[in-house]
Amino acid sequence: MTTMTEASVREFKMPDVGEGLTEAEILKWYVQPGDTVTDGQVVCEVETAKAAVELPIPYDGVVRALHFPEGTTVDVGTSIIAVDVSGGAAPAPADEPQPEATEATEATVAAAEPESAGSGRQPVLVGYGVATSSTRRRPRKGPEVPVQQASTAIHTELNGHAPAVQAQAPAVPAPAGADRPLAKPPVRKLAKDLGVDLTTVVPTGPDGIITREDVHAAVAAAAPEAPEPAPTPAPAAAPASYDTARETRVPVKGVRKATAAAMVGSAFTAPHVTEFVTVDVTRTMKLVEELRQDKEFAGLRVNPLLLIAKALLVAIKRNPEINASWDEAAQEIVVKHYVNLGIAAATPRGLIVPNIKDAHAKTLPQLAESLGELVATAREGRTSPAAMQGGTVTITNVGVFGVDTGTPILNPGESAILAVGAIKLQPWVHKGKVKPRQVTTLALSFDHRLVDGELGSKVLADVAAILEQPKRLISWA
């Protein structure tokens, strides 16, 4: 049996790939135990509260253990993979005992368990940055047992019960000499919430791991038996899948979890005020068509959002106090002399708000190029955490969904957000006559602690005036 010395095994911990992130979900492993890895090689993809990020390993060696299966949410600072850096042989076959790997896994589970509020635990920041190397998946080696275990764990996590084959497995006692029962962090939390002592639970999972089913079984066994009710006429019992057929439960995590927390925090921290204006944007739409034919914009994304973004930037230049944030701790208003323009983007992972750095300093073609890159990156799910930090104001284009407008919630740390409604052909009084014109409704939400009604109204009116007469982009810029 191959052994590993403590000095030769390096534990790679989940890094903080953003600013102050505390956890991330493992989306995909690109390596398996027995694979050889090199410094800078991407070993897995994780989803943080902000984006999907590929993690490179910072040293050479042979993968000895993957401590968590795909789909597991892991705390920052928790070891996720063990690598033998001594250049030794591949791991022993699965049918041979591997106490070293078991101990490493046990230690990892212990590290991942949430500590008490008084423990003073702080996230460990151990980021190495994202490598640009190839992300090809290496061939898997060894038996497929770890994959089956990962599948079982993910099924249990998502559905609240184990698959049938696991339910029929015989009970396996906890490993002799173990300091604590084997259980994954979500199962430990469930046991804690239900008041179950894991040392009293009989494990049925692989290698003596306690599952959610085991915890619920312990609760049921401890509950006093209720008197059997008198038989009453009733329809046949519904199948076990009846509830899941009528409703689906989706775990709140990743981008969705972060968005929910941010929106609740913003809504109940900043006093929101929203103002509306309906404007004739016919001239702006004509300008969009002209720019599409301009050789300066060849190959660039030119649409109404481009001119709306430019209009907002000009309005901010004319009313710089709107581009600010509220510092509660210092009791100060922080006026920004730069504009990092956020663009709300709907992605398969949820709503994200990447921003264009120093958008105020960009020419119209440069702004078009930045918008195109931002949208393409968001659609591919490759927006980096850095791209979503430091925004100052935001635009959300709800018009793409065919709605007139909305009352947007401020992005945390920002003072204003502009919602753009659908541009529709409507009857409009133009030069004293009712004519069909391209019309839209704008909505500006702002933080009333630092933006009063006059300032908010001026900004919204300036944006509307530019879109009505886009030549003001020249005279006001």
Tell me which of 161, 216, 272, 448 is the catalytic residue.
448
Distance between CA 83 and CA 61 in Å, rounded? 6
| CA dist 404 → 103, 202, 422, 473 (Å) | 59, 58, 5, 25
SS3 350: strand
DSSP E strands in 214-373: the ranges are: 272-280, 324-327, 332-335, 341-343, 345-347, 350-352, 355-356
Nearest to 141 by CA among 70, 92, 103: 92
Residue ranges of E strands in 69-223: 73-75, 79-84, 182-183, 209-210
Question: Which ranges constitute the DSSP H helices of 294-401?
Answer: 304-318, 364-379
Look at strands 424-430 and 345-347 and give their pairing: unpaired
Helices (H) and strands (E) in the chain, counts: 12, 21
Q: Which of 139, 67, 140 is nearest to 101 (CA)?
A: 67
| Helix, strand, coil share of the chain (percent; to 5) | 35, 20, 45
**Cα–Cα distance, 377 to 280 (Å, whole number):** 32
Structure token pair of residue 126: 């151990």
| Residue in 96, 101, 106, 131 with CA at minimum distance from that of residue 33 | 101
Q: Report CA Rg, the chain.
A: 28
H-helix segments, 72-160: 99-112, 145-159
Backbone angles phi, psi at 209, to 5 degrees: -85, 135
Catalytic residue status for 448: yes
Q: Decide: helix, strand or coil at residue 186.
A: helix
Angle (CA) 339 341 342, round 5°: 145
Write out the catalytic residue numbers: 448
